[in-house]
């Protein structure tokens, strides 16, 4: 597939005793292989086939995560006691609640 910009990952499957190739944008697809290189090659081929099929059926094709733009903002709802505890920790650390949450999320 030309311009393949999807997000791939290869990991070991203890259950299958093989490497498994995955694609974040097509979470229902996977490919098992004896080597990590073969798992990556296999999942990329499957994704290309699925994209081609979706194009032929005029279906909406997932946008690659890499080409999406993110604002840097999202809302997280937490119980009031968690909010209070985080606000206290932020104040004790001398940072904003936003800075504390960002630091914890990026670990």
Token pair 């279906």 is found at 59
Which pLDDT tens digit goes with each residue over 10-44? Answer: 999 999 999 999 999 999 999 999 999 999 999 99
Residue boundaries of the structural domains of the chain: 8-65, 70-105
* Residue 107 confidence (pLDDT): 77
Cα gap 33→51, rounded to integer Å: 21
Cα gap 1→4, rounded to integer Å: 6
**Can you tell me the mean pLDDT for 1-8?**
90
Token pair 């094709």 is found at 61
């Amino acid at each position: 597939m030309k311009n393949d910009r999807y997000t791939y990952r290869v990991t070991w499957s203890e259950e299958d005793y093989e490497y498994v190739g995955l694609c974040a944008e097509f979470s229902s697809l996977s490919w098992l292989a004896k080597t990590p290189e073969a798992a990556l090659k296999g999942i990329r081929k499957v994704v290309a086939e699925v994209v081609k099929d979706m194009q032929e059926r005029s279906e909406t094709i997932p946008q690659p995560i890499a080409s999406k733009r993110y604002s840097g903002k999202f809302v997280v709802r937490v119980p009031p006691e968690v909010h209070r505890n985080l606000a206290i920790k932020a104040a004790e650390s001398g940072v904003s609640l936003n800075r504390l949450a960002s630091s914890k999320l990026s670990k």
